[in-house]
Amino acid sequence: MIDIRKISQEDIHEWVLSKGGKPFVSKQIYQWLWQKSATSFEEMTNLSKTLREQLSQEFIFNPIKEDKTQKSNDGTIKTRWKLHDGHLIESVLIPVPSDQRYTVCVSSQVGCSLTCSFCATGKMKRVRNLDAAEIYDQVVEVNRQSLETFDHPLTNIVFMGMGEPLLAYNNVLESIEKLTSEKALNISAKRITVSTAGIAKMIKKLADDEVRFNLALSLHAADDEKRNSIMPINETNNLEVLMDALEYFHLNTKNKISYEYIAFNGFNDSIEDAKNLLKLCKRFPVKVNIIEYNPVEGVDFVKSKADRIESFTNFLKKNNVMATLRRSRGKDIDAACGQLANK
């Protein structure tokens, strides 16, 4: 049977008419699916019993199901979800009550194909892209967690979990359409950030598609030689090509762009590295998030020493770059940046 959340509102409308139903019923069904987040036909109580039975005979739901939840000492909550085909993914709730900020980090793929050397997910093979509904479900379920645990709804959504979002392009954009549509969850696109390891042609496609969300580049090194050594994607999408694509994105959307920069001790945290990064920050407005490295089994990198990362950050600030040092959260449950591997 067909997963009802894989078909369009127009298809639902045609199905309802074929059963002799009134046109407004298709709007009711769509509302149950994407505004009320129903995962069974029994929940659709304003539909007739006959229609609900007809729906259940022809369509199914494939919602994600909680498999394991871990809570960090700092309040971070990581959840492993089981998909309908048995595969596993993870998402993370990152609460910062002092800032009234409650962020969900969602996955877009089962595994990842980019093999970044510092990332636990990169050591897993990519199995498949997530469906739009599987991404949507992560937001809905983690929002419930946030309300139950912190009495506060989610404030932000970041596509920084397992997988490369721009290699799951259509499904990611469809999920964001469902999250932001007035007919669905009506979340502001400005509260959504999609992170990419750097696929230039897809960054340009985002601009051409006139997306309204923010974009983050997982940069981690500001010269090609170093970036090639830790991120193989850079060999076909070098920094010059990426900067051209990001400038195109900025000129066409005016959306916020940020660089994610994990600081590795003795590798990319010198003042010379900061000077290289400064050059990349001068072409268009950009914010730099400097991130503590989180240990990954089998990886030799260690996090930058406190004095080096502070000097690096201060150099950028003195040169009028908006730079923020982000402390890692959820390290004790393998929920921090680069650690997601279904553990």
Summarised one tens digit per residue, pLDDT across range 138-173 is 999 999 999 999 999 999 999 999 999 999 999 999
- Give helix then strand counts, H and E, for the chain: 10, 14
Rounded mean pLDDT of 53-69? 97
Q: Which helix (H) or strand (E) holds 148?
A: helix 132-150
Tell me how far apart the alpha carbons of residues 102 and 325 are, in angstroms, rounded to a whole number: 18
Residues in the chain, total = 343
**pLDDT tens readout for residues 223-257:** 999 999 999 999 999 999 999 999 999 999 999 99
Residues 9 and 141 in one domain: no
Residues 47 and 105 in one domain: no
* Per-residue pLDDT band at 202 (split at 50, 70, 90): very high
Residues 44 and 88 in one domain: no
Token digits of residue 233: 């994607």
* Per-residue pLDDT band at 340 (split at 50, 70, 90): low
Rounded mean pLDDT of 125-133? 95
Indicate which residues carry an active-site annotation.
90, 337
Range of the domain at 299: 65-333
* Per-residue pLDDT band at 330 (split at 50, 70, 90): low
* Per-residue pLDDT band at 122 (split at 50, 70, 90): confident
**Looking at residue 338, what is its pLDDT?**
54
Report percent pLDDT > 70 for the chain.
96
Beta strands in the chain, from DSSP E residues, in sequence order: 2-3, 59-60, 65-71, 77-82, 88-96, 101-105, 109-110, 128-129, 156-159, 192-196, 214-218, 257-263, 287-292, 322-326
Residues 314 and 173 in one domain: yes
Residues 50 and 145 in one domain: no
Specify if 339 maps to a domain.
Answer: no
**Looking at residue 169, what is its pLDDT?**
98
**Looking at residue 334, what is its pLDDT?**
66
- With 90 as the cut, is the pLDDT of residue 42 above it? yes
Residues 155 and 33 in one domain: no
Bridge partners for 110 per DSSP: 128
Beta carbons of 108 and 139 less than 8 angstroms apart:
no
- With 90 as the cut, is the pLDDT of residue 336 above it? no
- With 60 as the cut, is the pLDDT of residue 264 above it? yes
Conformational region of residue 330, where left means phi above 0, alpha means psi within -120 to 50, and beta covers everything else: left
- With 60 as the cut, is the pLDDT of residue 104 above it? yes
- With 60 as the cut, is the pLDDT of residue 62 above it? yes
- With 80 as the cut, is the pLDDT of residue 80 above it? yes
Number of domains in the chain: 2
Specify if 127 maps to a domain.
Answer: yes
- With 80 as the cut, is the pLDDT of residue 137 above it? yes
**Looking at residue 300, what is its pLDDT?**
81
- With 80 as the cut, is the pLDDT of residue 333 above it? no
Residue 243, phi then psi, degrees to nearest 5: -65, -40
**Looking at residue 26, what is its pLDDT?**
96
DSSP 8-state assignment for residue 57: H
Residues 121 and 30 in one domain: no
Token digits of residue 74: 């700092």
Specify if 86 maps to a domain.
Answer: yes
HSE value, Cβ hemisphere, 13 Å, CA-based, for 329: 17
Q: Which amino acid is at 98?
A: S
